[in-house]
Structure 1
Amino acid sequence: MWGISYWIVPIFSACVWLAMLIAMLVVWAREGFPHYVSMDERQTIAYISDIGASGLKPLFIAMSTVTVVTFTLSFVFERWLRHTRRLAPNTSIWQKIYSGIAIGMAIAGAAGLILLSIFDTRRHPKLHNGFLVLFIGGYIVSAIFICWEYQRLGIHFREHSVLRISFWIKLVFILLEVALAIAFGVTQKQKKWNAAAVLEWVIAFIYFFYVLSFFIDFMPAVRTKHHQSRETEMDMAGVEAGTQHGDGAAMDQSYFRGGSTAQLNNGYATNGYANGNTNAVPNPYTSHNTDEYYNGPGAPANGHVKPTEPVAASRNF
């Protein structure tokens, strides 16, 4: 159950963010694309912050806070799962340092988004722009250190394709967001407000996909949890039945032909007789008198030895 809940966290976070963006666009469109007070005279496309500074400010603050708080939990859960070896564990102290920096910068980015939603562009334009830089920069730096950690993990765990996939997704996010952030700053500087507004919306939607991508990181934990649960069920089944179920399916040794210690519950050894064993097993084919037949060393002095019969095929395969 807990394995499943981990990957729900980034999905929930991403969905809240997407719902907020769509709600803002829908409200702006339903109101007839109004020109807000915080917009420049030549500006016709509203920034996210322009809409958020108007009647939707409570929504902007609440949903931004929920998004970044739950997203930060994704970083914490990922760190915990690596520590408990539910995910590929870190192989050096540097990888743990990279992870710690990534968490710290994600918290800084989260604080930036919460603060920019509170200090809106209409009443606190300078503070708002400063927190916007903290928000974008914090998550970009965080993604850089996550990529660094995953790159090192991928060297030691080449069999884990999830690490490679996650690494490339986050690397693409870094490259796109850095390029878009630079373009956003340049268009702002040149007072190309409409172009800058479009770039801001694009950055916001790319951030949605970045948050959503974190559910991939938790998939190995889900598979590991299910695998362990299945093994536990089989072990418990064996214990409850005295470690003998049918043909011994609950016993690990029973899955191999020729096991030296495994005994099926029908009383035979692995091939029905104790051929060549120093501890001979009584042959089920016994006479009604006291003379019993053995195939191994230690047969009775009367010399009765039962001829070796063909080995029956295992019923486990």
Structure 2
Amino acid sequence: MAILSHRHHHWAYVWIPAFGAFIWFGTLLSMLLTWVGTGTPRYPSEDGTIPYISDIGASFLKPLFIAGCAVTAVAFVTTLVLERLLRHNGRLHASLRRRESVFSYLAILGSFIGGMGLILLSIFDTLRHQSAHRVFLLVFMVGVALSAIFTIIEFRWLSKDYQYAAQLRRAYIAKAIIASALIILAIAFAICLWRSKNAGGVLEWVIAMGFTLYLLTFVYDLRMSKGIHKHELSEQRLVNGSGNGHGRDMSYA
């Protein structure tokens, strides 16, 4: 019974990025359906025919927007902090070199900057505080982009040191694909802000929905702690060759 209970401990961690992704997607979907359901109205801050997320977020749905952004930001930062702690405690593959730990902390810092930007852009809405809103939107995008880049670099180096390289490789490849696509779209979005408001609106919705997928990749990461005891993958045991994964449940079903 104790072993079975231990194998289910990972669900406490997995629910955090999953919950954050659910809240973020639910917030966006609620706002989009509200716009459609009310007859696609034109909002006071709207420049084109397709509203930006912030246009709807500056309306009577502002409390929902703030709450959704706050929960998502906290979940994002907490997920990265938990992943760092699980590596430190040996329940995920430990960092064998200082550079891996450094980039892990930089990823957490990036997530914190991005999270603060997300919360503040929802508070300083585009209708009443347009300049501040755009600054915080930039802070959010840059913070998340930096966090993703640092996370991918950390995963890339980690994958060379462990026998379960295939699992780690899938994790960072998924993150790299999603993050690269979102960064490219973000650049296109910035260009469209000056050239095509409607195209910019579409891109913003796509980027926001894509962020949901990025959050969900961490569910896979934290699931890898399934069946792993504290210190089982610690730095000392891995260096000495004793962290061979005995007793690990490799089923991800």
**Same topology, TM > 0.5:** yes
* TM-superposed deviation, 1:130: 0.7
1:31-66 deviations in whole A, cap 9, x for unaligned? 1000000011xx111100000000100000011101
Match of 2:78 among 64, 73, 76: 73
Report if the CA contact (8 A) 1:8-1:215 is conserved: yes
User: Which of the residues 204, 208, 228 maps onto 1:204?
Assistant: 208
Unpaired runs of at least 5, structure 1? 229-317
- Equivalent in the alignment of 1:177: 182
Higher helix share: 2
Amino acid at match of 2:200: A
Query: Match of 1:244?
Result: none
Paired residues for 1:156-171 under 5 Å: 156-171=161-176
Contact 1:162–1:216 at 8 Å: present in 2 too? no
Map 1:253-292; keep pairs closer than 5 Å: none
1:234-245 alignment runs, 5 A limit: none
User: Which runs of 5 or more structure 2 residues have no equivalent in the other structure?
Assistant: 1-7, 233-253
Offset of residue 2 of structure 1:
3.1
Q: Which residue of 1 aligns with 2:114?
A: 109
- Give the number of equivalent residue pairs: 224
The equivalent of 2:98 in structure 1 is 93
SS at match of 1:156: coil
1:33 to 25, 35, 40: 40
> Is 2:179–2:214's contact at 8 Å kept on the other side of the alignment?
no
Contact 1:52 1:117 in 2 (8 A): yes
Specify which of 219, 224, 232 is matched with residue 220 of structure 1: 224
Letter of the structure 1 residue corresponding to residue 210 of structure 2: I
The whole-number CA distance in structure 2 between the counterparts of 1:207 and 1:144 is 14
Give the stretch that moved more between structures: 153-162 or 132-141.
153-162
Query: Is 1:153 matched up with 2:164?
Result: no
CA shift, 1:158, in A, is 4.2
Structure 2 residue aligned with 1:131, among 129, 136, 147? Answer: 136
> Are the counterparts in 2 of residues 109 and 134 from structure 1 also a CA contact under 8 Å?
yes
Structure with higher Rg: it is 1
Superimposed CA distance per residue, residues 168-202 of structure 1 (whole angstroms, 9 cap, x where no aligned partner): 11111221112111111111121x11100000000
- The SS at the match of 1:155 is coil
CA RMSD of the aligned region, Å?
1.4
**Sequence identity (%):** 41
Q: By how many angstroms is 1:160 displaced?
A: 3.3
* Bigger relative contact order (CA 8 A; separation at least 6): 2
TM-score in terms of structure 1 length: 0.69
Counterpart of 1:119? 124
- Tell me, in whole angstroms, the C-alpha distance in 1 between the residues paired with 2:24 and 2:105: 25
